[in-house]
Structure 1
Amino acid sequence: MLWRHMFSALCLASTAVFAQDVHVHVAQNAKVDATHFPTIQMALDHAADVGPQGKLFLHIAPGVYKERVWVSPRRARTVLLGEGKSASDVVISAGMNAAHSGGTFFTETVEVNADDFAADNITFENTAGPTGQALAIAVSADRAIFKRCRFLGDQDTLFADYGRQYYVDSYIEGGVDFIFGNATAVFDRDEIHILRPGYLTAQSRTNAEQPTGYVIKDSRVTAGDLQGKRFFLGRPWRAYARVVVMRTELPVSLDPRGWSEWKQNAAELAKVSFAEFENKGPGAATQGRASWTRSLSPKEAAGYEPKVFLAGADHWDAPVEAAKLP
């Protein structure tokens, strides 16, 4: 019997180690030790490893962190927590653009390649301005959550590239194609702000069987001074692009057509899935929408709620997981 008790104790101890969370603190004036670091990247590089079920929490003090950050695949279950009163108090900032870095996908201020990543109360910023492609963040991660965050840039601000992603109570700003890629992503209760005449989204689904696409729901689209010109909700970066905008406030400066073709896919617009449901505001009227877009029925719209659209085979409930963040 004794060996059974010893075996049970060892198993419990092993489970505790595997499930152990690690908490570290980032502040620009921090003196480096095992749990305190002056930069975010240093914390990611040198914090203790967590077990298969544990999480790494980075508690980030207010400040502008002028660095480029990579969350590697080995840092799964990393959580960035901004400790300011609002997302504007903790800013990760860089200013690379495609012309000077060697291409679009070398410009991101933050790159996330780790599954089960989360960020709360943080700003991700690319300060390059209207100088071409310049990413604030690139996210290639499954079950990623961004809560109360800000994403600031101009062209290609947010590369929602791969995996299931949930953006809630956040602010996203840009000028051209500033939410783009082929993730399965929901933007819930967000403000999406367009700075100049352009396109909110450039989704890139490549075949009809892919479960990918973007859903903008219960949100608000706002526009800067477009000098009398119009903007579009999106254009298809790839032939089977899918974007749904539902129960969202749309401004008067939205082009009545709503959506634009992309020259390279202009002959394949029947494959595109651009749709709307119960939007509101002065730009919500659908009578003048592009003929190759459509309105959803209530039954169809129900399939784009985050609990359904993001569920996957593991039945991930993104809103429930987001509610667990501080």
Structure 2
Amino acid sequence: MKVVLPIFLAASIIAYAQDIHVRVDPAAPHADPGNENRTVFPTIQNALDHHPWPAAGSLGKDGSPARVYIEIEPGIYHERVIVTQNHPNITLIGKGKSPEDVVITNSLNARQAGGTFFTQTVEVNGDGFEADNLTFENSAGNTGQAVAIAVRSDRAIFKHCRFLGHQDTLFADYGRQYYIDSYIEGGVDFIFGNAAAVFDRSELHANGPGYLTAQSRTSADQSTGYVIINSNVTSSIDHTGGNAARTTTALGRPWRPYSRVVSIHTELPADLDPAGWNNWNNPANEKTAYYAEFGNKGPGANVLHRVPWSHPLTAEQANQFLPQNFLRGKDHWDPIQEAARLP
């Protein structure tokens, strides 16, 4: 017997599950304009430029707006990648066994590029961006500012990702961002910018003396800031020479006066500067920056010698910085639930 669906139901089914899946394989031929119906591309940027688009108003399998999934075969991709502002809901997925198997890399420092904000290997401007099982790298090393990725995306999620650099590795600058089960490495100010970002169950690794964060909130009424929670701060700083101040890392310093960083239930290393935080040689910042801790552990967690202008939190105060609260927003975004949908 032939079943005839009501028109409204048939239309809803057509609009449903319209996610687009394409693949990046270096062996594929390059796609030029007019090849937009291709599903295999040789580079990540080529896939971003020429992938098919979901139908207008279509929904993905979870009922949210349809996504473009770019599945990347294992390899080292020597390219610079830009996700434009008019390109939302992009998901990059590394198809290797671990994040080390898919590496997006470039080597460019501020001196070469003409400024910090021209150095990034990857730049993300479209909202709703996701990445899973990838490495983002700027291989310029200890040569000054050299950004691995600049993220200006609201509701961005990074899961099982690595971020490799030295100074200014991760520019987390705009929107709400959630980093889960990831690894971030650098030496000086290696997480910086003015996003509302949570780093959950992640490792922040200092490969040289300096500061983990340089958050740049510009006024007290901004909802931005960095939260490091359930994470692990590690270090490979060389302690064989120089004075003690130059062989430690600190939790943060204020790039802008109202900088806000909170560390919760995080393992802190022995070579963390006992002061914890720094005023960036400006005592006025001590009146406006907000640096706080709750329930940290490890040899660097003793707060007795912290700067007097930092804040020990109560459990109730720390609750507002949990990812589901701090990143909730007016649209009631649940970053934990969204991240769980990724592989």
So what's the TM-score if we normalise by structure 1? Answer: 0.95
Deviation of the 1:10 alpha carbon = 7.0
**Do 2:279 and 2:285's aligned partners in 1 also have CA atoms closer than 8 Å?**
no
1:43 to 41, 47, 52: 47
Q: Larger helix proportion, structure 1 or 2?
A: 1
Structure-to-structure mapping, 1:157-196, within 5 angstroms: 157-196=169-208
AA paired with 1:15? A
Measure the CA separation in 1 of the matches of 2:280 and 2:187: 16
Partner of 1:240: 258
Counterpart check, 1:138 vs 2:150 = yes
AA paired with 2:20? V
Counterpart check, 1:8 vs 2:25 = no
Measure the CA separation in 2 of the matches of 1:306 and 1:217: 9
AA paired with 1:292? W
Measure the CA separation in 1 of the matches of 2:116 and 2:94: 27
**Do 2:237 and 2:248's aligned partners in 1 also have CA atoms closer than 8 Å?**
no
**Do 2:30 and 2:46's aligned partners in 1 also have CA atoms closer than 8 Å?**
no
Counterpart check, 1:154 vs 2:166 = yes
Give the gaps of 5 or more residues in structure 2: 32-37, 58-64
2:284 to 250, 267, 284: 267
Partner of 2:62: none
Runs of 4+ displaced beyond 4 Å:
none
Deviations 1:92-132 (A, max 9, x none): 00011110111100000000001111000000000000111
Classify the secondary structure of the residue corresponding to 1:178.
Answer: strand
Partner of 2:113: 101
Partner of 1:294: 311
Q: Percent identity?
A: 56
2:214 to 184, 202, 209: 202
Measure the CA separation in 1 of the matches of 2:9 and 2:293: 56
Greater displacement, 228-237 / 116-125: 228-237
Counterpart check, 1:277 vs 2:301 = no
Classify the secondary structure of the residue corresponding to 1:74.
Answer: coil
Deviations 1:246-271 (A, max 9, x none): 100000000110111113x4323111
So what's the TM-score if we normalise by structure 2? Answer: 0.90
Classify the secondary structure of the residue corresponding to 1:292.
Answer: coil
Measure the CA separation in 1 of the matches of 2:85 and 2:334: 22
Measure the CA separation in 2 of the matches of 1:285 and 1:232: 13
Deviation of the 1:32 alpha carbon = 4.9
Measure the CA separation in 2 of the matches of 1:225 and 1:13: 56
Partner of 1:111: 123
AA paired with 2:29? K
Deviation of the 1:8 alpha carbon = 2.7
Classify the secondary structure of the residue corresponding to 1:73.
Answer: coil
Deviation of the 1:12 alpha carbon = 3.0
AA paired with 1:12? S
AA paired with 1:239? P
Deviation of the 1:13 alpha carbon = 6.3
AA paired with 1:246? I
Measure the CA separation in 2 of the matches of 1:24 and 1:231: 42
Deviations 1:174-203 (A, max 9, x none): 010000000000000000000111000000
Measure the CA separation in 2 of the matches of 1:325 and 1:122: 13
Measure the CA separation in 2 of the matches of 1:112 and 1:99: 22
Measure the CA separation in 1 of the matches of 2:271 and 2:258: 26
Deviation of the 1:9 alpha carbon = 6.2
Deviation of the 1:74 alpha carbon = 2.2
Partner of 2:61: none
The size of the alignment, in residue pairs, is 319
Counterpart check, 1:25 vs 2:23 = yes
